[in-house]
Amino acid sequence: QKEVEQDPGPLSVPEGAIVSLNCTYSNSAFQYFMWYRQYSRKGPELLMYTYSSGNKEDGRFTAQVDKSSKYISLFIRDSQPSDSATYLCAMSGLVNTDKLIFGTGTRLQVFP
Amino acid sequence: GAVVSQHPSWVICKSGTSVKIECRSLDFQATTMFWYRQFPKQSLMLMATSNEGSKATYEQGVEKDKFLINHASLTLSTLTVTSAHPEDSSFYICSARTGPEQYFGPGTRLTVT
């Protein structure tokens, strides 16, 4: 079993839809949870990070962490074609040198 | 957010030559930098963790004599691919950590002919 599981998709939605992206994990030592967006042939861009459980909102994006279920989510409201990309969840422990453990990424396609 | 740059953005080299890729954190100091490799339609594969002033820690299966990493300052890390071969052709991405947040560079596409 992988430490982090993420549905690779692809996920295809119409413009304006609410998108839900999810990851599950097995390592209870993870404390920081991040979502990255990666366009083709580009480096990942940090969208949001959350410490421990709870919700965090930034514009059209909401990140949720449920440590009891070892489940994290990213919601995108009013999705736009420009949101079409691969979304990677990532998580790490508390130590500064801790590696980020990535999910495989979910490809999202938002069509007009 | 913080900015990480990479240079060059793409490079073509001949088999047997060496290539150096630079990674810089432009507006913050990074005690830890990471180097990744990514194949098409696959997730990031961590190659090594680099701490300023000390030797890099390589992941299992990564040849440290082939992929030389130097972290000379809090804002600069370099990856040198020595004696490159066509199978080293890939997308190389660095990242720099500040606190819990890790920021990635734009990547370097290496093609070995």
The percentage of residues in chain B with a pLDDT greater than 70, rounded to a whole number, is 99
Asked if B105 is an interface residue toward chain A (Cβ–Cβ < 8 A), one would say yes
The pairing of strands A61-66 and A54-58 is antiparallel
Residue A79: predicted pLDDT: 98
Instruction: List A64's β-bridge partners, or say none.
Output: A55, A73
Other beta carbons within 10 angstroms of residue A82's beta carbon come to 9
Write out B29-89 in H/E/C secondary structure.
Answer: CCCEEEEEEECCCCCEEEEEEEECCCCCEECCCCCCCCEEEEEEECCEEEEEECCCCHHHC
Looking at chain A from residue 22 to 81, which residues have their Cβ under 8 Å from any Cβ of chain B?
Answer: 32, 34, 36, 41-46, 49, 51
Verify whether the Cβ–Cβ distance A97 to B109 is below 8 Å.
no
Q: Which residues of B touch A51 (CB under 8 A)?
A: 100
Per-residue pLDDT tens over the stretch B94-113: 999 988 889 999 999 999 99
> Nearest CA of chain B to the CA of A29: how many Å?
14
The structure tokens 């990480």 sit at: B4
Mean pLDDT, consecutive 10-residue segments, chain A of 112 residues? 88 97 94 95 93 91 95 97 97 81 95 96
